[in-house]
Structure 1
Amino acid sequence: MTVPETTAPFRFPVAGRYAGMASSPLKSIFDLAAAAGVVSFAGGIPDPELFDLGTVTAAYDWVLSHQGSRALQYGVSEGEPELRVQAARRVSRTLPTDASQIRVTSGSQEGLFVVAEALLEPGDVVLVESPTYLAAVQAFAVHGARMVGVATDDDGVDPAALEEAIRTHHPRMVYLIPSFQNPTGRTMPLERRRAVAEVLLRHEVPLIEDDPYGELSFTGVVMPPIASLPGMAERTLLLNSMSKLMSPGVRIGWIRGEGPVLETLAVAKAAISMQSSVVDQLMVARYLETAELDAHVRTVSAVYRERRDALAEALAPVLPAGAHVTRPEGGMFLWAALGEGYDAQEMLADAVAAGVAYLPGWSFFAEDPDRSTMRLSFVTHSPAVIAEAIGRLGEVIARHGGR
């Protein structure tokens, strides 16, 4: 065989939808989190010391002892029946649901991709909060959609701005994170949820409601999803995940929906990954059946509240005058806007050199990014580590002031 002579290395042709995407934003988060000697606030990475390891181990042991052959076999695209029953039971606490309305995914991240695969055509418009979850923007964008950011305030998306955006752009769907939003930590009050639902109902626009953080409440109050409001269940796909409640390493989540779209979701799921890991599905089903997940979530939420307080208190004296910082009542993230004259992306290299990492906020905007913003996760580190690291970050912020 003759190999042609060439001076250039071979390059695979890349689909246009991935052109320019040299790295995933999620990969960047994990790279920052793994950097040696760096205290990272970049990713929503749970403290492994808080994992319910003994109970999870017992659930795996039971599955492999009692359902071993089945657990190691192929499964069905819709999800294993036991898990769908348990998922429906949890969703039913705020929205009546049966197992037939559940489609299992490998975490809610895959759920977003499944939704995009099932619903979006190239050129479709998706309305999103400004800012919004960066990996959702990526999942929709690679399917050819155009994201349009809708104005927000401290209560979430502005209903009047949402209505105007619907009239102007005629979107395929609206994507929202109403509870402890990523990246801002904001939560929509009930009246705001009702106002948003009224807009969506009036214009007959579907809602993709992402709720991976809603149970991580620091007050004990878990807000009902928008999907639970009158008229919204049939026009909402509600995404949940076990990643933030039990373990992110077990990639299990689900989509709750109604009607013929459920079959389309199953077809899309089969095309993407055939099915989610059967052994993990059966383990999660066993865990939800036998473990005290609510007690575990209360324990974790109490720790996260203490760490939120530590981060907020450490940031207050080091931020410039006029900076705006959220104080979330749950979830994993705090959002800081430093204000005019600051560029969080330009500042990041100096911060990492000082041993501190965060995620610049510009990547969370579908358009018109505020480059002075940063997202910081408070869940990974102890209050003492947080205080020391934010002191170093404060020195970096002070050096960048007025640039």
Structure 2
Amino acid sequence: MTVTEPAPAHSPVPPLAARARSVGGSPVRDILAVTARPEVINFAGGLPAPELFDAAGIAATYRAVLAEEPARALQYSTTEGEPTLRAALADRATARGLPTGPDDLLVTTGSQQALSLLATALLEPGDTVLVEDPCYLAALQAFGFAGARVVPVPGDEHGVDPEALEELVVRERPKLLYTVPTFQNPTGRTLPAGRRAAVAAVAARRGLWIVEDDPYGQLRYDGERVPWIASLPGAEDRTVLLGSFSKVMAPGLRLGWLRAPGELRRACAVAKQAADLHTPTVNQLAAARYLADHDLDAHVTRVSGVYRERRDAMLAALPGALPEGSVWTRPEGGMFLWARLPEPYDTTALLPQVVRHDVAYVPGAPFYAGTPDRTTLRLCFVTQTPEEIEEGLRRLSKGLAGTPGA
């Protein structure tokens, strides 16, 4: 006779951490999952144009590194980053007006990791973070995951208002201000030099960290370069500058860096050691070799020329594509253009209707820390050719025709 053992009691596993339960998924990822079809002209992604990657030059650097120093390239490295890469990055920052030494830098696995490390090193649950309005979505997610209270700073078409910033600093006592002051994501706007100086002065006067994210600053098509906030009086000991190769070399390298005062940089290095030990050695050495053997600035100039044509194509076609009464930014560089449709258009509700015409954008609502403006949307102009941009905007016009809201 066979005896059947009773099934063991099945208790639920312990729950996820509160921070994981509260943050949830990416609203843009969820919204845009339907746009992966190849026939969709996708203005939604923040993707550099892959045909403009210097694939041959990058491949050559990997071959050279693996042929000449394979043991080093495939071995563990220091958490702070490969000395040759940090030295090259320091030289580039110094040449752009911010005296920097290799030991001022921490190499990160993309600048997104730098945001995560800063949140770990600076923020306690409940701390207040100030952000632009609207703000880079992944920064909102990183600060939210850390349990921070995120408060938007009022501004206008030029960026944050320094007077409003100071009022919020006095009232809210925040730990940091996060800003993308040059060709901002999502709006494409650039904070003028005078406002940058005023922001630095507020930080110095009131006691505030500034996190200055600069992934797009080299992609300038018009106008003159504006100095980093990190280089301005009052900001020297309280600004973290983030950089990345994703938009100027290739995002698949996952190479970023942060420049920060010593104590904070060391805290971020400890946090990185716990997260991933170090950024892949072979990628760092290949990037350093690329900077030594190739002219990255010349490559960026070539890419910028193509992107300028694509921006101009989008600006030329927008008046015929968006409803009457719409307004949009005219960025001097970067990758994005921000549009506001007239009331009562709701760009989140309209997206499924638009995607049925094989075109996509990012609705503006997820980029707001406070009350969203549901009439807004973000368009990326660098990934498609001028002809594809014109066709995509024709499709967008058809998709927006008819009922403004859901």
TM-score, normalised to structure 1's length? 0.95
Measure how far apart 1:322 and its partner are.
Answer: 2.6
Q: 1:315 pairs with 307, 313, 318, which one?
A: 318
1:91 maps to a residue whose letter is: A
Measure how far apart 1:47 and its partner are.
Answer: 1.3
Residues in 1 aligned to 2:282 and 2:235: alpha-carbon distance in whole angstroms? 34
When structure 1 is superposed on structure 2, of 357-366 and 222-231 the one drifting more is 222-231
Residues 1:35 and 1:277: Cα distance change in structure 2 (over 3 Å): same
When structure 1 is superposed on structure 2, of 30-39 and 136-145 the one drifting more is 30-39
Equivalence for 2:93: 91
Measure how far apart 1:4 and its partner are.
Answer: 3.5
- Secondary structure of 1:371's partner? coil
Residues in 2 aligned to 1:150 and 1:161: alpha-carbon distance in whole angstroms? 7
Equivalence for 1:110: 113
Q: 1:72 pairs with 71, 74, 78, which one?
A: 74
Residues in 2 aligned to 1:287 and 1:28: alpha-carbon distance in whole angstroms? 37
2:354 maps to a residue whose letter is: A
Q: 1:55 pairs with 53, 57, 64, which one?
A: 57
Residues 1:342 and 1:137: Cα distance change in structure 2 (over 3 Å): same
Deviations along 1:290-317, one digit per CA (max 9) or x if unpaired, are: 2111111011111111111111222112
The answer for unaligned runs of 5 or more in structure 2 is none
Q: 1:364 pairs with 363, 367, 380, which one?
A: 367
Measure how far apart 1:20 and its partner are.
Answer: 5.1
For the pair shown, the structure with the greater C-alpha radius of gyration is 2
Measure how far apart 1:30 and its partner are.
Answer: 7.4
Measure how far apart 1:260 and its partner are.
Answer: 1.4
Q: 1:173 pairs with 172, 176, 197, which one?
A: 176
The within-5 A match list for 1:144-223 is 144-219=147-222, 221-223=224-226
Q: 1:46 pairs with 48, 51, 54, which one?
A: 48
2:46 maps to a residue whose letter is: G
Deviations along 1:109-142, one digit per CA (max 9) or x if unpaired, are: 1111011111110000000000010000000110
Equivalence for 1:136: 139
Equivalence for 2:8: 4
Contact 1:233 1:257 (C-alpha < 8 Å) held by counterparts = no
Measure how far apart 1:32 and its partner are.
Answer: 5.5
Residues in 2 aligned to 1:163 and 1:310: alpha-carbon distance in whole angstroms? 39
When structure 1 is superposed on structure 2, of 302-311 and 33-42 the one drifting more is 33-42
The within-5 A match list for 1:211-290 is 211-219=214-222, 221-290=224-293
1:50 maps to a residue whose letter is: L
Deviations along 1:274-297, one digit per CA (max 9) or x if unpaired, are: 111110011111111221111110
Equivalence for 1:376: 379
The within-5 A match list for 1:23-42 is 23-25=25-27, 27-28=29-30, 31=33, 34-42=36-44
2:208 maps to a residue whose letter is: V
Measure how far apart 1:24 and its partner are.
Answer: 2.7
Deviations along 1:301-340, one digit per CA (max 9) or x if unpaired, are: 1111111111122211232233220010000000001132
The answer for unaligned runs of 5 or more in structure 1 is none
Residues in 2 aligned to 1:107 and 1:221: alpha-carbon distance in whole angstroms? 27
1:62 maps to a residue whose letter is: A
Residues in 1 aligned to 2:296 and 2:27: alpha-carbon distance in whole angstroms? 30
The within-5 A match list for 1:379-394 is 379-394=382-397
Residues in 1 aligned to 2:83 and 2:374: alpha-carbon distance in whole angstroms? 46
Contact 1:25 1:135 (C-alpha < 8 Å) held by counterparts = no
Residues in 2 aligned to 1:29 and 1:68: alpha-carbon distance in whole angstroms? 43
Contact 1:32 1:357 (C-alpha < 8 Å) held by counterparts = no
- Secondary structure of 1:296's partner? helix
Contact 1:29 1:43 (C-alpha < 8 Å) held by counterparts = no
2:236 maps to a residue whose letter is: A
Contact 2:183 2:332 (C-alpha < 8 Å) held by counterparts = yes
Number of residue-to-residue matches in the alignment = 401
1:227 maps to a residue whose letter is: A
Measure how far apart 1:26 and its partner are.
Answer: 6.4
When structure 1 is superposed on structure 2, of 34-43 and 150-159 the one drifting more is 34-43
Residues in 2 aligned to 1:234 and 1:167: alpha-carbon distance in whole angstroms? 20
1:187 maps to a residue whose letter is: T
Residues in 2 aligned to 1:176 and 1:322: alpha-carbon distance in whole angstroms? 29
- Secondary structure of 1:334's partner? strand
Residues 1:29 and 1:201: Cα distance change in structure 2 (over 3 Å): farther
Residues 1:381 and 1:170: Cα distance change in structure 2 (over 3 Å): same
Measure how far apart 1:221 and its partner are.
Answer: 3.1
Measure how far apart 1:160 and its partner are.
Answer: 1.1
